[in-house]
Structure 1
Amino acid sequence: MVFQVAVPSDLRIGGGSLAQLPDVLRRLGSARPLIVTDGFLTGNGTADRVAALLRDAGLHPAVFSGVVPDPTTISLRGGLEAAKEHQADVLVGLGGGSPIDTAKALAVLAVRNGELRDLKAPFSYDGPALPVVAVPTTAGTGSEATRFTVITDSDTGEKMLCAGPSYLPVAGIVDFELTMSMPPRLTADTGIDALTHAVEAYVSRHRNAFSDSVALRAMTIIGRNLREAYRDGGDRDARAAMMEAATLAGIAFSNSSVALVHGMSRPLGAHFHVSHGMSNAMLFAAVTEFSLGVADDRYADCARALGLVDDSIADADAAIALVDELRALATGLAVPTPEEFGVSSADWVALVPTMAEQALASGSPGNNPRVPTASDIERLYHRVFDGGIR
């Protein structure tokens, strides 16, 4: 079997690695980087700190701080204007998944005419793009190491997955010290997001030996550190471990694929503005339980990597232990149900057919061990609302 492995050509991982960002940019020949970030990181001084670091190194940075949660095609317009006005030669995505996804989309649109909707999956874009250097400030999305971006179509409300080699950052600065101020809710949601990436990469129909090894390592790290990072945000060892795991999980699913959880998660963000990590957390246990019976050996490996069972436990029982652990995580990390989040039953029920259609159209459910029908997905959405999280 031949499989292709794609990772950023330069990853700097560890506490204090942010200081190496000027060196990374100089190696890329950059003189005019544009920092793509959001209002929060501008307001707390992080964006100014990064810009000062670059100016002190003799570069000429500018800052675009107009990134919004769950970025849209409309929200890209300001960034596109900023990139052109600054004559940016590199985009630095600074923040969580939204700033990095925005930087990836802008990198393509800055050099290519047309609409982003023309590039949504299953289309794979490998054309010209500005280089992207990703600097994550959360430990979960793994966007610093993936060939994907997710942008909502402002006209249709669809959360579009855009994929291809051109979206892969050329470099990443993975400095856990940037995550030390993450609140417990964000720590939980991004941590479960990373676990979802690792598990789905491992059970995906597009898995390979490389993605398998990286995914299992990510699971082991998350199993040992997620609850501790949630309980004590000042634990540097747990924060460092979760940051490493998030990047490993990103590498894993970028070289395999995500599956049904992600396919069903995107519509929750588009229609109800549930954050991506929380959407995954709401769905994870129910979708995994639905998938049992097809690849129990794979789910059993996940349970063992998480330290839930040992090799003496039969695969079917180990797979059930994984589902039990996902429910326990949802309880222990206070993952809300859709109703607790504020979604009304009437709104949820009315949108279930549309969400199921959009989930299937994304292509991700087809990567699942048990490939669902539209009716299966509708039933899963109803089950999640009725208490299938815990």
Structure 2
Amino acid sequence: MSRLDNALGLGLVRQPKTVLFGPGQRRQLGRHARRFGTSALIVTDERMATTEDFAAMKADLKAQGLRVAVFDAALPDLPRQNVLDVVAACGSDRPDVIVGLGGGSCMDLAKAASAVLAHGGDVRDYFGEFAVPGPCVPLITIPTTGGTGAEVTSLAIVYDDVARMKMAIADAHIAPAVALIDPELTLTCPPGLTAATAADALSHLVEGFTVKPKNPSADELDREIYVGKNRITDMFCREGLRLMDRSLARVVEVPSDLAARSDVMFAAYCAGMAINTTGTAAAHAIQSPMAAFGHAPHGFGVGALLPYVMRFNLPYCTEEFAEIGAVLNVADPDGPVEDRARAGIARVEALLAAAGSPLDIAALGVTEADLDEIAASSVKAVRLVRNNPAPMTPESVKAVLRRALAGDRSWWTSP
């Protein structure tokens, strides 16, 4: 039996100043945007820019007296070039507020652009923790998927084509000022994207609950974004897991069910609130380089890895997985802690399956020949490796990958 020890009894979250959640809250956009000035830039993707909801939000901004520019070429897995394109499109006309409207890549693009527009240089200058020198262009985030949690995080993930890896700007200066979270916007989300983003949110909740508590000093709290799991992040993870257990299968089966959409979107918000302080761990560290081989959506990548990562971490956080079993209503409260933990892991796997996530990486196009490079690259994600309960080495990661490639979930002790 093992438990992660928050010896300080610490509670900490970082968050936007204002969060509005609920059906119809997108209609508050103009009221909030006008508080920042007279010009707005909407960052979104090509599909969203053709919708009636987009047209209504743009009209709302104009009705509130703002000049509105639009960048509608946001791409999945946010390539660095996308950030350069936004900055070039603005030229010398810097907006007073940026609206990030769409999925995680749209919102991350808005965050990254807010830093470069405010401080110049290349987006690479801001990779890492607290590398942004000061306040950025104010941000309003409006998610259209229930998954990434990017609407509330101080994180922008950018694919660097030279490093061939996803890199992160992790800085409180890029935290959104306002998040408008409206489940009605997810009703038209395509089924595959609904499934992938739900799997992503579920992985955030599990990893946020099982990463290491770091018991940070006051100095570490000042200079590090990811300072470990704590009492407040655990609270968000428990609520998010409870809502996923209740509604994840329903939202996939009946996409028009607004109550289920609301549950999953609130769970994704809870996950974002947690990982904004905890960070993620092995599933995300491995998925980043794996994406270059499997070319699967991010959510399906971490979802396919999660069953094997959970088993890998089980000996180091048995109590936490047992608590997950209790939250998900599958653990016998009088049973041995190991059995309760395994029940929790099995239920998470069932939820992934209900979401439509593949449960092995072969289904994503990964082959045996890819494993050495994926394993070697995974351990370079130092901030995630430091978060993971089980020690990550190229050898241990490759052992996990072999199990994931074979779809072998028969083991509970060592990969």
Instruction: Report the TM-score, using the length of structure 2 for normalisation.
Output: 0.88
Distance in 2 between the 1:177 and 1:13 partners? Answer: 11
Residue identity over aligned pairs, in percent, reads: 29
Q: Which residue of 1 aligns with 2:346?
A: 324
Residues 1:353 and 2:375 aligned together: no
Q: Which residue of 2 aligns with 1:382?
A: 402
For structure 1, list consecutive stretches of 5 or more residues without a partner in the other structure: none
Residues 1:14 and 2:22 aligned together: yes
| CA contact 1:100–1:134 (8 Å) conserved in 2 | yes
Amino acid across the alignment from 1:308 = V
Between the two proteins, the alignment pairs up a number of residues equal to 385
Q: Which residue of 2 aligns with 1:373?
A: 393
CA distance 1:160–1:335, change in 2 (3 Å): same
| CA contact 1:197–1:250 (8 Å) conserved in 2 | yes
| CA contact 1:159–1:270 (8 Å) conserved in 2 | no
| CA contact 2:27–2:60 (8 Å) conserved in 1 | yes
| CA contact 1:62–1:86 (8 Å) conserved in 2 | no
Is the partner of 2:316 in helix, strand or coil? coil
| CA contact 1:180–1:239 (8 Å) conserved in 2 | yes
Distance in 2 between the 1:214 and 1:169 partners? Answer: 19
| CA shift for structure 1 position 270 | 4.0
Q: Which residue of 2 aligns with 1:340?
A: 363
Is the partner of 1:74 in helix, strand or coil? helix
Is the partner of 1:5 in helix, strand or coil? coil
Instruction: Report the TM-score, using the length of structure 1 for normalisation.
Output: 0.93
Residues 1:121 and 2:128 aligned together: yes
Task: For residues 159-190 of structure 1, give each alpha carbon's deviation from its aligned partner in whole angstroms, at most 9, with x where no partner exists.
Answer: 11221111211110000000011233222221
Range 37-46 or range 252-261, more displaced = 37-46
Q: 1:49 aligns with which of 19, 44, 56?
A: 56
Range 187-196 or range 305-314, more displaced = 305-314
Residues 1:65 and 2:75 aligned together: no
| CA shift for structure 1 position 22 | 1.0
CA distance 1:315–1:344, change in 2 (3 Å): closer
Deviating runs (4+, > 4 A) in structure 1?
none
Is the partner of 2:161 in helix, strand or coil? coil
Distance in 2 between the 1:306 and 1:212 partners? Answer: 14
| CA shift for structure 1 position 333 | 3.0
Amino acid across the alignment from 2:182 = D
Distance in 2 between the 1:11 and 1:330 partners? Answer: 28
| CA shift for structure 1 position 271 | 4.2
Amino acid across the alignment from 1:283 = L
Range 159-168 or range 94-103, more displaced = 159-168
Distance in 1 between the 2:48 and 2:202 partners? Answer: 25
Distance in 2 between the 1:332 and 1:242 partners? Answer: 13
Is the partner of 2:179 in helix, strand or coil? strand
What does 1:155-166 align with in structure 2 at a 5 Å threshold? 155-166=162-173
Residues 1:151 and 2:173 aligned together: no
Is the partner of 1:66 in helix, strand or coil? coil
What does 1:262-273 align with in structure 2 at a 5 Å threshold? 262-273=284-295
Task: For residues 213-234 of structure 1, give each alpha carbon's deviation from its aligned partner in whole angstroms, at most 9, with x where no partner exists.
Answer: 1111111111111011111001
| CA contact 1:22–1:57 (8 Å) conserved in 2 | yes
Is the partner of 1:93 in helix, strand or coil? strand
| CA shift for structure 1 position 382 | 2.4
| CA contact 1:284–1:389 (8 Å) conserved in 2 | no
Amino acid across the alignment from 2:254 = D
CA distance 1:194–1:151, change in 2 (3 Å): same
| CA shift for structure 1 position 123 | 5.5
Residues 1:195 and 2:202 aligned together: yes
| CA shift for structure 1 position 9 | 0.3
| CA shift for structure 1 position 146 | 0.8
CA distance 1:108–1:322, change in 2 (3 Å): same
Task: For residues 249-281 of structure 1, give each alpha carbon's deviation from its aligned partner in whole angstroms, at most 9, with x where no partner exists.
Answer: 100111222111111122233443322111111
Q: 1:259 aligns with which of 275, 281, 284?
A: 281
Distance in 2 between the 1:85 and 1:310 partners? Answer: 62
CA distance 1:308–1:69, change in 2 (3 Å): same
CA distance 1:244–1:327, change in 2 (3 Å): closer
Residues 1:172 and 2:192 aligned together: no
Amino acid across the alignment from 2:288 = R
Distance in 2 between the 1:35 and 1:141 partners? Answer: 19
| CA shift for structure 1 position 311 | 2.3
What does 1:279-318 align with in structure 2 at a 5 Å threshold? 279-318=301-340
Task: For residues 293-328 of structure 1, give each alpha carbon's deviation from its aligned partner in whole angstroms, at most 9, with x where no partner exists.
Answer: 111101111121122224223321111112222332
Task: For residues 94-152 of structure 1, give each alpha carbon's deviation from its aligned partner in whole angstroms, at most 9, with x where no partner exists.
Answer: 00001001111101111223333333235654523111111000001000111111100
Q: Which residue of 1 aligns with 2:4?
A: none
Is the partner of 1:319 in helix, strand or coil? helix
| CA contact 2:34–2:64 (8 Å) conserved in 1 | no
Amino acid across the alignment from 1:92 = V
CA distance 1:15–1:381, change in 2 (3 Å): same
Residues 1:132 and 2:139 aligned together: yes
